[in-house]
């Protein structure tokens, strides 16, 4: 029996030692130490032994069991460690590899043009002023010399929330708000960019929602020649140093006198092409001297203060600058369009 136990130990230890994975180790545990295993069998048969043999064989059986148990335990720890090592080697990350390139985006062409215009006027001492898109009738119309029955309101039909509340048709109401907040004391020197709305049918040159940029300069002794000077700088910076401007008489209810500004054609320099419709001139914006009544309604004394104002559509500016033929391109978010304005 003694020899039997010893050869059992040798056989078991050898097999444990050569086990290649945790699964076969577990099988060996069941095989040698399980309820139906040889050691259990030996212990169970102890009753048949003599009084003298019993403690000797009992002790040996326990020793063999402990030896196998500890061999399995050591082997298990070894195999688990190997498994983790293999996993670490497999999943290791080479931190010295270059990263994947980050997709760089670009400004929307309309945003780029608006920011270019903003920067230009900031350089001329203007501040940016933004205001509500949902306006009331007073700021959108009344304060700008467009009383309820004024025919010019027809051209600026809007989306009404109530009789008195509407989506603004221009950014001017915000200019009126800023003037009012100055409580009759100049200077007011602001640029108002933002979304505006008109009840219009969308086509290549019209949209029910579009952007506007307005400028306003109110102070003592502001004159039409100041407007002309500022607009000349603007035209040259946006469309090239050799641009000339011309002012044609026009009409807006909120300015008097009112003008329309053209720039000399940047495409043909005046000889006549399709961009300027063979006139040599391109219409860019509307402007004028702030109507005395508008100044007065917003708290400025028109005998002391004068001002100029202008308004332009950045979509139109961007279309001219980049040769875009349909205003709807700005709003459709087609990447094939947007990617063309990636800066180098």
Contact between 311 and ligand 2NL by CB under 6 A: the answer reads yes
Q: Is 300 in the site for ligand 2NL (CB under 6 A)?
A: no
Peptide bond into 257 cis (omega under 30): yes
- Residues 108-127, mask of contacts with ligand 2NL (x by CB under 6 A): --------------------
Give the residue with the Cβ less far from ligand 2NL, 12 or 327: 327
Which is closer to ligand 2NL, CB of 110 or CB of 294?
A: 294
Instruction: Give the H/E segment covering residue 237.
Output: helix 224-239
Tell me which residue has its CB nearest to ligand 2NL. 311
Separation between Cα atoms, residue 132 and residue 208, nearest integer Å: 17
The number of helix segments (H) and strand segments (E) in the chain equals: 12, 9
Are 224 and 245 contacting, i.e. CB atoms less than 8 angstroms apart? no
Closer to ligand 2NL by CB, 32 or 254: give it. Answer: 254
Interatomic CA distance for residues 111 and 106, integer angstroms: 10
The DSSP 8-state label assigned to residue 98 in this structure reads P
Nearer to ligand 2NL, 255 or 306 (CB): 255
Of positions 306, 310, 317, 327, contacts ligand 2NL by CB under 6 A: 310
DSSP, res 334: -
The stretch near ligand 2NL (CB under 6 A) out of 104-112, 235-243, 304-312, 336-344 is 304-312
Q: For ligand 2NL, which is the closer residue by CB, 237 or 260?
A: 260
Q: Of 288, 314, 319, 324, which one interacts with ligand 2NL (CB under 6 A)? A: 288
Dist. CA 55–CA 154, nearest whole Å: 116
Cα separation values, 118 from 62, 176, 188, Å: 91, 19, 16
Cβ proximity to ligand 2NL: between 38 and 307 the closer is 307
**Has 241 been labeled as part of a binding site?**
no
Region of 2-10, 265-273, 283-291, 336-344 interacting with ligand 2NL (CB under 6 A): 283-291
175 binds ligand 2NL (CB under 6 A): yes
Among 65, 313, 317, 329, binds ligand 2NL (CB under 6 A): 313
Structure tokens at 168: 């603004």
Could you give the strand order of the β-sheet that contains 188-197, starting from the edge strand earlier in sequence? 127-128, 188-197, 209-219, 306-312, 281-290, 255-264, 245-252
Q: In whole angstroms, what separates CA 233 from the centre of its chain?
A: 32
Residues 191 to 230 in contact with ligand 2NL, rule: CB under 6 A: 212, 214, 216
What span, in angstroms and rounded, lies between the C-alpha atoms of 296 and 41?
A: 113
Residues binding ligand 2NL (CB under 6 A): 172, 175-176, 212, 214, 216, 252, 254-255, 285-288, 290, 294, 309-313
Residues comprising the binding site? 256
Binding residues for Mg(2+): 256
């Amino acid at each position: 029996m003694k020899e039997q136990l010893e050869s059992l130990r040798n056989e078991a230890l050898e097999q444990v030692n050569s086990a290649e994975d945790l699964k076969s180790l577990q099988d060996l545990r069941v095989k040698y130490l399980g309820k139906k295993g040889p050691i259990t069998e030996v212990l169970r048969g102890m009753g048949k032994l003599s009084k003298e043999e019993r403690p000797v064989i009992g002790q040996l059986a326990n020793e063999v069991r402990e030896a196998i148990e500890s061999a399995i335990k050591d082997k298990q720890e070894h195999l688990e460690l190997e498994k983790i090592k293999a996993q670490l080697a497999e999943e290791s990350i080479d931190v010295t590899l270059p990263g994947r390139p980050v997709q760089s985006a670009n400004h929307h062409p309309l945003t780029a043009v608006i920011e270019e215009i903003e920067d230009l006027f900031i350089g001329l001492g203007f501040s940016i002023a933004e205001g509500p898109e949902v306006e009331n009738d007073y700021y959108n119309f009344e304060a700008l010399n467009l009383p309820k029955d004024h025919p010019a309101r027809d051209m600026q039909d809007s989306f009404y929330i109530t009789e008195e509340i509407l989506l603004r048709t221009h950014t001017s109401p915000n200019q009126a708000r800023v003037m009012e907040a100055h409580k009759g004391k100049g200077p007011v020197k602001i640029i108002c960019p933002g979304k505006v709305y008109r009840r219009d049918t969308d086509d290549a040159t019209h949209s029910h929602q579009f952007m506007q940029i307005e400028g306003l300069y109110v102070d003592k002794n502001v004159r039409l020649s100041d407007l002309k000077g500022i607009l000349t700088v603007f035209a040259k910076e946006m469309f090239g140093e050799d641009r000339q401007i011309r002012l044609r008489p026009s009409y807006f209810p909120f300015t008097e006198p009112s003008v329309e500004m053209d720039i000399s054609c940047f495409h043909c320099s005046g000889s006549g092409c399709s961009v300027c419709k063979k006139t040599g001139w391109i219409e860019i914006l509307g402007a004028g001297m702030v109507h005395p009544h508008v100044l007065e309604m917003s708290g400025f004394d028109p005998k002391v203060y004068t001002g100029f104002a202008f308004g332009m559509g950045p979509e139109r500016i961007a279309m001219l600058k980049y040769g875009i033929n349909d205003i709807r391109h700005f709003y459709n978010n087609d990447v094939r369009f947007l990617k063309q304005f990636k800066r180098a």
